[in-house]
Structures are given as structure tokens and as C-alpha cells.
Amino acid sequence: VNADCRAPLPIEQLVDYAAGELSEADETTLEEHLFACEPCARALERVMRLGAGIGRCVREGRIATPATDDLVRHLSAAGARIREYRLAPGDTVPCTAAPDDTFVAVRLAVPIPEVTSLSMDVDFHDLATGAREAQHTEDVPIDRTSGEVVMLFPGELIRTYPRSRWTMHMTPAEGSAALGPYVLDHLPWNIDS
């Protein structure tokens, strides 16, 4: 058994394997690697412990996947490459996804301790075509340990986005004023601007 791995199995493959969604041939190849490779076997164990939540994150290209600080740490420990952006209300942050980023984590600070749930409004503005799209989500959970709303996006999804601006506001269920804007200024990887 190898103590080091020169070609770690991508977390996407481990997730598909854990969910029983690999073809038989791919499964055999992967198992051959796992039996001979201690780091990858350990990564698989961690992926198994994360359970269904992570599989959903990897496979579904949803606009906002509520996550937790804990999930982000576990994914990172399991070998996922995570690009993280932290925003406080009023911040504008440039963002992108590199070719090998497994996830992009967006962390929006909620500087009001008593808030337990929020609704979120996202205004998507395609800066190339001028197209706009608004999205409203109810009951966005807050990670109380970090005081943030944590969203996890598959890198694969983020890499499909054009040059665009994402303007987000969050309104506490408790009735305080909306927080924001939180602005992500998205630039596709490798585009000269």
C-alpha cells in the first residue's frame, strides 16, 4: 500500500463511487487504485462520512446550495479544491473559478447575532449581453458557528458563467432591514479584460 499518492482520485469520482453511480468498468479501475492507495482510501472514507449532502453539491448545478463552514472544511480535508470568497454587507469582490477548482464557496457575513433565517434576493446581470435575471429564495439557513450564509457551487457550474455581476441582498425573517448589497463581480478564468 502506498503512503503517498501521485495521482489522487478526483473527489467527483469518489462521490459518484460512494453513490454507486460509476459504470462497472470505472468502478473496477477505481477500486484497484483504492486497494493500493492509503490516502485515497482515507479520502473515500471522509466522502462516505459526508453523506448525501456532498453528492448533491457536486452533481446539482443549483444557484445557491446552503452549506456550512463544517462542510467546507470536511470537503477540503477530503481533497476538494475550494476557492473561497468572503463578503460583508456592502462588499464588492471579484470572483472566478480556476480549471481545477472543485467548488467555489461564497460566504456572506450576517452581522446580526439573533437572526436565525433569511430570505435572499439575487440579481444576476450578464455584462456581455445586458440580460438580467432575479431570483428569490426563502428560508436560507445561517451557519451560526461562523455567523455566515455559506453557499457552495460546483466549480464546473461557475466555469459556465459569463462576465457577470451578482448582487445579493438578504432579509432577516425577524423583520430587520435588508442586509447588503453583497456583490460578486464574476470574470471567467483566463479572460483578458
Q: What is the contact surface with Zn ion in residues (CB under 5 A)?
A: 5, 37, 40
* Residue indicated by cell numbers 426563502: 138
The three cell numbers of residue 89 are 454587507
Choose between 26 and 133: whose C-beta lies nearer to Zn ion: 26
Shortest Å distance, C-beta 40 to Zn ion: 3
* Residue indicated by cell numbers 475550494: 82
Q: Which helix (H) or strand (E) segment is 96 a member of?
A: none
Choose between 32 and 138: whose C-beta lies nearer to Zn ion: 32
Shortest Å distance, C-beta 48 to Zn ion: 16
Q: Which of these, 116, 133, 129, lies nearest to 167 by C-alpha position?
A: 133
Shortest Å distance, C-beta 8 to Zn ion: 5
Choose between 8 and 181: whose C-beta lies nearer to Zn ion: 8
Choose between 35 and 189: whose C-beta lies nearer to Zn ion: 35
Shortest Å distance, C-beta 80 to Zn ion: 15
- Sign of the alpha-carbon torsion through 173, 178, 180, 181: positive
